[in-house]
Amino acid sequence: MHARQGARQRPPGYWRDFWLGLLGTVVVNIVLFIALVNVSGAYGTPDWLMNLVNLGPWVINIGGLILFAFIRPRVAIGMLVAYGIALGLALLAGVVLFVLCFSGGAGVP
């Protein structure tokens, strides 16, 4: 029998890359949200430009995830965790709103 070996050592930078992906995704999406709100509030913006601006977050998020999956997989894992947390929070908000609207209470304040 083999003697039990210690815990597997993670390569240097493992957790740094993970946190970079998680927090970087949050920061980039907040910046994209602010930019999108500012551009959409401007009057006289051509429709083609608005369509291009609306595609920006999709291209940046999906493109970044695919790119980092090949060059730095731990950053991509952090990004996926950030997307999972955002999905969970959105589902939780939906459940709370459902309960507020359809319970016998006063409804949404």
Residue 8 inside a domain? The answer is no
pLDDT at 30 over 70: yes
Residue 24 inside a domain? The answer is yes
Domain that holds residue 25: 15-101
Q: What is the DSSP letter of 3?
A: P
Provide the number of structural domains found in the chain: 1
Residue 42 inside a domain? The answer is yes
Name the burial class of residue 75, with classes exposed (0-12), middle (13-18) and buried (19+) by CB atoms within 10 angstroms of its CB: buried
Q: Which of the two residues, 59 and 48, has the higher pLDDT score?
A: 59
Predicted pLDDT of residue 18: 93
Q: Mind listing the pLDDT tens digit for each residue in 94-104?
A: 999 888 888 76
Kindly report whether the global pTM for this prediction surpasses the value 0.95.
no
Q: How many residues does the chain have?
A: 109
